[in-house]
Amino acid sequence: MTARLAIAEERSGNMTILRMSGRLELDEGDVVFRDCIDRLVADGRVWIMLDLKSVTRIDSAGIGMLVSKYLSARRRGGTIKLLHLTPRCGELLHITRLNTVFEIFDDEAEAVRSFDVTT
């Protein structure tokens, strides 16, 4: 039995932290993620940090959804940044060269500070 993707949402000022756990994979995982990001972007919450520390697996559909939702946020003037990559997720982002697209952080306080923008 696979661990369905769960997302806990925290808001801090104009930024939203999504603490994700489980599998970001084709079907359930990528749909849960897509719907969550679409809702945030529709509400104007476009400064998003994904805490991936507890994501146990990510596949090509998950990677594709990360890119798609990154572009959705960027089109609305925001961004998606990544926090606490697992070794496997880091390897996948390196292989796909997406580590040059996403800002990636190991330290949460530093990641939060990176969102400090004057609007």
What is the pairing mode between strands 15-24 and 79-83? unpaired
In this structure, is residue 1 part of a structural domain?
A: no
- Give the domain CATH number at 16: 3.30.750.24
Domain with 82, as residue range(s), is: 6-106
In this structure, is residue 114 part of a structural domain?
A: no
How much is the pLDDT for 27?
78
Please give the average per-residue pLDDT across 97-110, as a whole number.
95
Q: Total structural domains in the chain?
A: 1
Element (H, E) at 105: strand 104-105
Please give the average per-residue pLDDT across 100-108, as a whole number.
96
pLDDT in tens, 45-73: 999 999 999 999 898 889 999 999 999 99
Whole-prediction pTM value? 0.91
In this structure, is residue 115 part of a structural domain?
A: no
In this structure, is residue 93 part of a structural domain?
A: yes
- Nearest C-alpha neighbor of 46 from the set 66, 21, 75: 75
